[in-house]
Structure 1
Amino acid sequence: MSNKKIPEKILEVIRDAGHCVVTTHVQPDGDALGSLLAMTDMLEQMGKRVFAYLDEPISHLYNFLPSSRALSTDIDQLQTFVDEAGVDICAIALDCGEADRMGRNQDTFLRISPFVVIDHHLSHQNFGDYRWVDSQCSSTGEMVYEISEALGQTPTYDGAFSLYVAICTDTGSFRYECTGSRTFEIAGRLVDLGVNPNHLANLIYDNYSPERLDLMQRVLATLELSENQQIACIHVTREMFDRSGALAQDAEGFVEYARSIRSVKVAVFVKENRSEVISVSLRAKGAFNVASIAKKFGGGGHRNAAGCKFPADSIESVREKVISSIKDALRAPSPEN
């Protein structure tokens, strides 16, 4: 039995609504997609009409997820669904640390009421009508499981599959400090429902394309260590994507290689995007709080995993700003670092 205190109003909203719109953040990772699909599966199991929306097509890295083809990117279809539902509707945002993370159509979602937010980011910025935000949960997937249990629903095989992907990817295969006994308990129950951990691990981690490996080679060649090898920094440019033939999604997880160096406390991955925005992924070991670093630059996340963006800047400039901030924190540790 879980000791998580889910706001009763959220359970009430989900029970009462006949139509549900479910969405997650832009550039969705395994937790976002797995949570979205599992929530959709649970709601349909409860007899509700559900519109599951993504801001962009699902990454090829996760197209093995069950029912992933049912996810829609059509905002006009969404509006029709909302209009037909009338007042018998609710919206649910999963794994979104702030409203902007829902993407370019966030205003369409925020007009739906009641609006429920379920998230586990330490740096969460409140939005929506009703919120369950718990940074102690390993993943949003874990939170969706708790909601399912509180509503008396047993995940279907597809739902369990999606939840396991969500939890496994957001805990780094159960390696990050957010992984607790309840995480393993839930994972065990998902296995009891038919999930095969070996099969899922193959789908998640053994699905590299030659283009992805080419890109990885180019990115790892940029590795720079500083501050007595406590900081590792890598970067990727648009030219690297073009030369390798890889897609933007193929860079997912590269920061973990920089983090894996024995002496490294903080890993930085600076990415040049086609949108002229430089994005930064941060990973840490132990007590160092990269969410506090990301927050200085308008980003956020978790203690050991966070990110931020820099519009109209250069890789060199961004790298210098971020690493300088990390060095300051390492040299003069605050209570949270």
Structure 2
Amino acid sequence: MDHPREEIVRTLKAAKNVLVSTHIHPDGDALGSQIAMGNILRSLGKNVFLYGEEQVSHLYRFLPGSAGIESLLPALNGFDCAIALDCGDCHRLGAAMDSLLTVHPFVVVDHHVGHQEFGDLRWIAPDRASTGEMVYDLAEALGAELSYESAYCLYAAIVSDTGSFKYSSTSAETFRIAGELLRKGVKPAEVSGKLFDNFTVKRLNLMRLVLDSLQLYADDQLAIIAAPREVFLRTGTTQADAETFINYPRSLNTVKVAVFLKETEKGLVSVSLRSKGKDHDVAQIAAAFGGGGHRNAAGCKLRDTSIGEVREKLLAELLPLVTR
């Protein structure tokens, strides 16, 4: 029986008009993979439309080709294939989910452990550190020559989802692919600078307020930070500006699990969970609240609630996890 990737390769080779999408509120892996996939398909003579529900965050506009992601969905009857990258759940396709899923075949390429199966063709590889790695594999299988721009986007994708190669998902294959991308001319210091040395004064003020909310539990093994709506209004920032803040409580040497609670709109709380090692599976915790992700990085969203209520619910689940 063929590997799912091979069937996807045949499908993409046969397609002429392809819509490429990813999840809402896309991160570096999602956007880097999406842009690179579009470039790869165009290099093979395909007509490609890159769709994103919202404007690309200012944190990722440095990615070459990011301006080509369109938020106005075109008529879909002209597409003979659609592909969703880094999307573990059809609902994360956003408001256009029902429309997008009318395109057939609908291809899904993802690496999330808690993937909720959808689409016509799926390649799900939880052992891969990033979707960017998987897109690189697809490029090889398609016989496509990677451009510098595509290599840049895929390197950014991999660096983003491996935490600069420090997460446990990082493998020898991750480094092999990264090395091949560097041979295309990508400069690691440049990409890392764009990804991580990108603070504005407003964003720094936001971080100061968020870190001031730090609370520690269970002998400092569990850390929780929070960002109610008012801190974004007070600092003139957006939800995107809070990306990566979860890494700071996680960096405490005593912490096993870190949590970031964000009030994205009134009554809607976004939960980011991070853990260390193999003994603290936060994907299971996220799944209990309708979310998903990886063993060491997961998340969920809860509606009609408050940060305080979510904190109490999570504490009931997380305290036994870190103290057992």
- What's the offset of the Cα at 1:320? 1.0
What are the ranges of 5 or more consecutive residues in structure 2 without an aligned counterpart? none
Answer yes or no: is the 8 Å Cα contact 1:34–1:65 preserved in 2: yes
The question of 1:105 aligning with 2:96 is answered yes
Are 1:311 and 2:309 counterparts? no
What amino acid does structure 2 have at the position aligned with 1:259?
R
Tell me the secondary structure at the aligned position of residue 260 of structure 2: strand
Q: Is the 8 A contact 1:32 1:94 kept in 2?
A: yes
Q: Tell me the TM-score normalised to structure 2 length.
A: 0.97
Give the aligned partner of residue 126 of structure 1: 117
SS in 2 for 1:101: helix
Mapped partners of 1:248, 1:312: distance in 2? 19
Deviation at 1:20, TM superposition (A): 0.3
Deviation track 1:278-335 (CA, whole Å, cap 9, x = no partner) reads 0100000001110001011000000100001110101111011112201122344xxx
Name which of 271, 293, 303 aligns with 1:280: 271
Q: CA deviation at 1:6?
A: 4.5
User: CA contact under 8 A between 2:83 and 2:106: conserved in structure 1?
Assistant: yes
14 and 275 in structure 1: CA distance in 2 versus 1, 3 angstrom threshold: farther
Aligned to 1:327: 319
The residue aligned with 1:209 is 200
Deviant stretches of 4+, over 6 Å: none
Counterpart AA for 1:300: G
Contact 1:231 1:265 in 2 (8 A): yes
Which residue of structure 2 aligns with residue 335 of structure 1? none
**TM-score, length of structure 1 as denominator length:** 0.94
The equivalent of 1:95 in structure 2 is 86
Task: Give the letter for the 1:45 counterpart.
Answer: S
CA drift at 1:83: 3.0
Following TM superposition, by how much is the alpha carbon of 1:207 offset from its aligned partner in structure 2, in angstroms? 1.0
Q: Percent identity?
A: 48
Q: Distance in 2 between matches of 1:275 and 1:38?
A: 35
1:223 aligns with 2:214: yes
Q: Given the alignment of the two structures, is residue 155 of structure 1 paired with residue 153 of structure 2, yes or no?
A: no
Q: Is the 8 A contact 1:6 1:147 kept in 2?
A: no
Q: What's 1:63 paired with? A: 61
Alignment length (residue pairs): 322
> How far did 1:103 drift?
0.3
1:83 aligns with 2:77: yes
Equivalent residue, structure 2, for 1:13: 11
Amino acid at match of 1:120: H
Aligned to 1:73: 71
1:74 maps to a residue whose letter is L
Q: Report Cα offsets for 1:220-264 as digits up to 9, x if no partner.
A: 000001011110000001111111111110000100001000000
2 CA distance for matches of 1:28 and 1:181? Answer: 26
